[in-house]
Amino acid sequence: VDDLASLVERLPDGAVSTHPGELTSRSRDAWPLAMLREVRGDRLPRPLAVVFPRATEDVAHTLEWATETRTAVVPRGAGSGVCGGAQAVWRGVVLDLSRMSRILEIDDESQTVRAEAGIRGDPLERALSERGLTLGHYPQSMAISSLGGWIAAASAGQASAGYGAIEDRLLGLTAVLGSGRVVQLPAAPRSATGPDLRRMFVGSEGTLAVVTEATLSVARRPESLRWLATAPSSFEAGTALVRELLQRRLHPVVVRVYDEVDAGMTFGPVGHGSGPVAIAAFEASRVGDAGLEEARRLALEAGAGPLGEDYGRHWWGHRNDAVVLYRRIMGDERMFGAGVIVDTMEVAAIWRHVPRLYDAVREALLEHASQAVGCHLSHPYASGASLYFTFLIRAEDDAAAERAYLEAWRRAAAACRGAEGTLSHHHGVGLLKAPFLVDALGPAAVSTLRSLKAAADPAGILNPGKLLETEP
């Protein structure tokens, strides 16, 4: 507490809060297990204080103080992470970036935007939209996630086929290393001046540095999208169809393939009967009739009959509803009752391994989850794709649900590795997957990550236990 007084002295008035409500609301992110624990009355780790920086220098002062006093700091964007990456740490402080949310510059000529890290997706996209621009980065969490969070968690949006993931938009940034040192990387389209330090911060989950500002590449807003929807004979046939679309370089903006279970949940409202569904969107002004015709022909040749354009439009119109639903599931209303937990797992592999990855992870999850494990492919590349599983665990009570949940994750992570998949495509590692990281990446890669951590954060104050397990 003496320590906290010395932090208060270094920062502007009102930057440090110890209000109990603030401490509680920053004790966790949207990790389902933490929600379950909270609902059942467990005490989650409450921080000593919440720090609200308004400028990069406030962040630097906080990290200098934390390094001196060996206080753990948990950087926090908007708290929508689903792996516990922003869960508070006992006797640590939470560094909440939400008051650093200004747009600093939009450059119409270079098509770039520079903004503070705490800005959320919706206001950022709205401001760009007024200039006829878009970031093209549309994670489902858009309304409840922040620019800094996207970088820290290596976010990918629903239009990644067209616009890439967050690292593909990132041109420059300002970050404060654990030591308090400020690193400024000016915007450059590309550079060959040593390893790209921008990339060191993407996916670092608050363990190396706190990103305070970023410059991103934006695009002209497409006037409209043209949708295709088809009914492939199987999920595997649907993935093969998407592979062909991508490898032919037809430049879709959005591509998704749903297995039967997931298709039922997603397209029930448009009257979908049974079987998998594949949808794709193209920029109307770019695809041309010949390109669309080629995509349609490919689908027919693959035995995938046409579905109405309403499938794509329905999905686009409702694509973020799940976020609202999700909050309700685990929140106050507790839709599904005690002993129930819902989560998602997103993995990726090169095409050759995708069918095996689908089978292996699904089977592992079904050992503990209800029959309703659904999956969709949502981020395709020329070389492979991600698979996104949704699963629901139902047990006698919350304690049993927790045990089943952790065991389901353990088995699914092992199954993923066995099928040569990568442990996460875009949700990150956090607390949830940290125990699986050595198995997933191998000891040499994890040891290299630990070296990076030691280099950027010598006192080890930044987000301890996240991404990398705390060493014994």
Q: Contacts with its own copies in 172-231 (CB under 8 A)? A: 177, 181-197, 199-205, 208, 217, 219-220
Could you give the count of Cα atoms lying within 13 Å of 278 in the half-sphere of its Cβ? 31
- Of the pair 264, 384, the CB lying nearest its own copies is at 384
Instruction: Give the span between the Cα atoms of 86 and 223, in whole angstroms.
Output: 37
Residues 274-303 that bind its own copies (CB under 8 A): 283, 286, 288, 290-291
Cβ 351 to its own copies shortest distance, Å? 4
Residues 96-135 that bind its own copies (CB under 8 A): 107, 109-112
Instruction: Give the span between the Cα atoms of 363 and 369, in whole angstroms.
Output: 10
One-letter identity of residue 265? M
Strand partners, 375: 389
Cβ 132 to its own copies shortest distance, Å? 11
Site size for its own copies, by CB under 8 A?
90
Q: What is the CA radius of gyration of the chain?
A: 22
- Of the pair 88, 416, the CB lying nearest its own copies is at 416
- Of the pair 196, 260, the CB lying nearest its own copies is at 196
Q: Is 31 helix (H, G, I), strand (E, B) or coil?
A: coil
Is 264 within 8 Å of 390 (Cβ atoms)? no
Residues 244-273 that bind its own copies (CB under 8 A): 247-251
Instruction: Give the span between the Cα atoms of 416 and 11, in whole angstroms.
Output: 46
Where are the strands (E) in 251-353, listed by range? 254-258, 277-283, 305-306, 340-350
- Of the pair 37, 220, the CB lying nearest its own copies is at 220
- Of the pair 2, 289, the CB lying nearest its own copies is at 289
Residues 137-176 that bind its own copies (CB under 8 A): 153-154, 156, 165, 167, 171
- Of the pair 322, 452, the CB lying nearest its own copies is at 452
DSSP 363-421: HHHHTTS-S--EEEEEEE-SSEEEEEEEEEEE-SSHHHHHHHHHHHHHHHHHHHHHTT-
Cβ 314 to its own copies shortest distance, Å? 26
Question: Which residues make Cβ contacts (< 8 Å) with residue 336, sequence separation at least 6?
Answer: 329, 342, 392, 394
Q: What angle do CA 125, 126, 132 make, to 5 degrees?
A: 85
- Of the pair 93, 287, the CB lying nearest its own copies is at 287
Is 437 within 8 Å of 429 (Cβ atoms)? yes
Is 61 within 8 Å of 10 (Cβ atoms)? yes
- Of the pair 104, 445, the CB lying nearest its own copies is at 445
Instruction: Give the span between the Cα atoms of 238 and 224, in whole angstroms.
Output: 25
Residues 302-331 that bind its own copies (CB under 8 A): none
Cβ 266 to its own copies shortest distance, Å? 23
Binding mask 14-53 toward its own copies (x if CB under 8 A, else -) reads: ----------------------------------------
Q: Which of 70, 126, 297, 352 binds its own copies (CB under 8 A)?
A: 352
Is 205 within 8 Å of 155 (Cβ atoms)? no
Find tokens 């290299």 and name the residue. Answer: 448
Stretch that binds its own copies, among 4-12, 27-35, 40-48, 346-354 (CB under 8 A): 346-354
Residues 365-424 that bind its own copies (CB under 8 A): 379, 381-386, 420, 422-424
Stretch that binds its own copies, among 116-124, 303-311, 336-344, 443-451 (CB under 8 A): 443-451
Tokens of 392: 């629901």
Cβ 438 to its own copies shortest distance, Å? 11
Q: Which of 325, 335, 399, 454 binds its own copies (CB under 8 A)?
A: 454
Q: Which of 440, 461, 463, 464 binds its own copies (CB under 8 A)?
A: 440
Instruction: Give the span between the Cα atoms of 302 and 230, in whole angstroms.
Output: 10
Is 145 within 8 Å of 77 (Cβ atoms)? yes
59 is a contact residue toward its own copies (CB under 8 A): no
Instruction: Give the span between the Cα atoms of 189 and 191, in whole angstroms.
Output: 7
Dihedral class, residue 221 (left if φ above 0, else alpha if ψ from -120 to 50, else beta): beta
Instruction: Give the span between the Cα atoms of 378 and 391, in whole angstroms.
Output: 16
Instruction: Give the span between the Cα atoms of 418 and 360, in whole angstroms.
Output: 8
Q: Which of 8, 438, 452, 459 binds its own copies (CB under 8 A)?
A: 452
- Of the pair 93, 349, the CB lying nearest its own copies is at 349
Cβ 423 to its own copies shortest distance, Å? 5
Is 304 within 8 Å of 232 (Cβ atoms)? yes
- Of the pair 150, 227, the CB lying nearest its own copies is at 150
Stretch that binds its own copies, among 66-74, 330-338, 351-359, 392-400 (CB under 8 A): 351-359
Stretch that binds its own copies, among 40-48, 138-146, 224-232, 445-453 (CB under 8 A): 445-453
Is 53 within 8 Å of 98 (Cβ atoms)? no
- Of the pair 97, 176, the CB lying nearest its own copies is at 176
Cβ 459 to its own copies shortest distance, Å? 14
- Of the pair 121, 339, the CB lying nearest its own copies is at 121
